[in-house]
Structures are given as C-alpha cells and as structure tokens.
C-alpha cells in the first residue's frame, strides 16, 4: 500500500510578520501576503491529484486549505490534532522576548543536535508530544480511502513531525510544502 501526503504550512499572518509566536491558543487570519502565498501554493499542488485536504481548525491553516481546495476542487475536513504546538506561556510573545524570558528552554528548543525531545515551555507541549500527536493523525489517515492527501498545518507541528520521521528542516517558510510517502511500512520525506 502507498499513500502520498502533501503537507503544507499556512500562509503568513501579521503575527508571523512581527515575529510573534502564535501557538495553538492564538487564532489569527492570513494577511494579504498569506493569501497570495496560498494562491501560489495552488501551482505547486496542481497535477498532484489531491483527493482531499485535512486541516487544522485554526483560521490561518483552514483558510490556506480552503483557498487551495477551491481551486483544486477537493473537500476540506478539519482534524483538530493538526493544530499548532502548544507553546504554553510563550504564546503571544515576540520571539526576542521569548529568548530573553526563557533563555535555556529557547536555546534547547532550537538545538536539534542534542535531540532533547522532552524540552517544553512552561505549560506547553514537548517536541515528543508534538510528534506523537501529529504522527497519530498520519497513522489514522492510512486507513482512509484516499491515497493522495493534502494536510494544512503549522510550522512547529510540521517540523517535529518530519523530525520524528527522520527529516530535519531548518527555518520553515510560510506555505512550505513537503511530500511524505508511506509505502510498504516505510516513510520518506522530500521538500518541494
């Protein structure tokens, strides 16, 4: 059995532009740039034969999914576990302020060399919890009838899902797109 997943990050929001952390509790809309990025994503996904798009329920991901789906003629369904990471007390803060208020956690959060999957901001999810949540979604989608699936989600959630699948990605641009293939019990990842 083979399943193709096209996993993409949402378009830009004003919080992204301001370098402010949204996390899962801050639900803002795409800005004008984000809408244009979602429209450009259509070109990358055209010809991939998507059968459905599953999306986070947060506005920024759902709007990105709906823009793509409308052009490609596919349905969008929400899976709440595709939400952004719970970043606890860091949510809503500017990135520079997060680094100042939580210097040890912040440094470890971005240190993939030490592989500290249990690091967490106060009140938030660990990288391991993010991976487990996102991987559970992928595993559940293996049982669906569709074989080519779009997934609209968020930067940290996608990053640590891919990290757990053995693919490391640095800074992820808005509307970054990854092709994840499951075939004969194996996962592979490429960035498009």
Residue 171: which CATH number? 3.40.50.1240
Q: What is the helix, strand, coil percentage profile of the chain, to 5?
A: 40, 20, 40
* pLDDT, tens digit, 9 for 90 and up, residues 149-174: 999 999 999 999 999 999 988 789 99
- 39 in Cβ contact with 90 (< 8 Å): no
pLDDT of residue 124: 96
pLDDT of residue 171: 80
Q: Is residue 10 part of a domain?
A: yes
Q: Is residue 110 part of a domain?
A: no
Helix residue ranges per DSSP H, 9-126: 14-18, 32-45, 59-72, 95-101, 103-109
Structure token pair of residue 60:
């920024």
Q: What is the pLDDT confidence band of residue 191, given thresholds at 50, 70 and 90?
A: very high
pLDDT of residue 170: 78
Q: Is residue 187 part of a domain?
A: yes
Which residues constitute the domain of residue 147?
Answer: 2-85+125-191
- What is the enclosing helix (H) or strand (E) of 52? strand 52-55
158: three-class secondary structure by DSSP: helix
Q: Is residue 22 part of a domain?
A: yes
Average pLDDT, integer, range 135-146: 97
- Examine the pLDDT at 60 and tell me if it is beyond 80: yes
Q: Is residue 111 part of a domain?
A: no
Q: Which residues are catalytic?
A: 10, 84
Q: b/e map of 151-165 (b: 16 or more CB within 10 Å)?
A: bbbbbbbbbbbbbbb
- 106 in Cβ contact with 125 (< 8 Å): no
Q: What is the DSSP string of 100-151?
A: HHSHHHHHHHT-TTTT-TT---TTS--HHHHHHHHHHHHHHHTTSS-SEEEE
Q: Tell me which DSSP letter residue 55 carries.
A: E
- The percentage of residues in the chain with a pLDDT greater than 90, rounded to a whole number, is 92
Q: Is residue 167 part of a domain?
A: yes
- Examine the pLDDT at 17 and tell me if it is beyond 80: yes
Q: How many domains does the chain have?
A: 1
pLDDT of residue 102: 95
Q: Is residue 95 part of a domain?
A: no
Q: Is residue 112 part of a domain?
A: no
pLDDT of residue 111: 77
């Amino acid at each position: 059995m083979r399943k193709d997943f096209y996993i993409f990050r949402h378009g830009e929001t004003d919080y992204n532009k301001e370098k402010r952390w949204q996390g899962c509790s801050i639900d803002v809309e795409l800005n004008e740039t984000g809408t244009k990025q979602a429209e450009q994503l259509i070109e990358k996904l055209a010809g991939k034969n998507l059968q459905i798009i599953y999306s986070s329920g947060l506005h920024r991901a759902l709007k990105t999914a709906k823009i793509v789906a409308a052009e490609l003629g596919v349905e969008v369904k929400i899976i709440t576990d595709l939400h952004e990471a719970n970043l606890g007390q860091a949510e809503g803060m500017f990135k520079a302020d997060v680094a100042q208020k939580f210097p040890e956690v912040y440094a470890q959060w971005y240190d993939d060399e030490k592989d500290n999957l249990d690091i967490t901001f106060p009140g938030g999810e660990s990288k391991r919890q993010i991976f487990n949540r996102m991987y559970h979604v992928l595993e559940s989608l293996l049982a669906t009838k569709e074989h080519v699936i779009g997934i609209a989600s968020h930067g940290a959630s996608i990053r640590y899902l891919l990290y757990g699948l053995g693919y490391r990605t640095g800074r992820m641009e808005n509307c970054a797109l990854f092709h994840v293939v499951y075939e004969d019990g194996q996962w592979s990842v490429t960035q498009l």
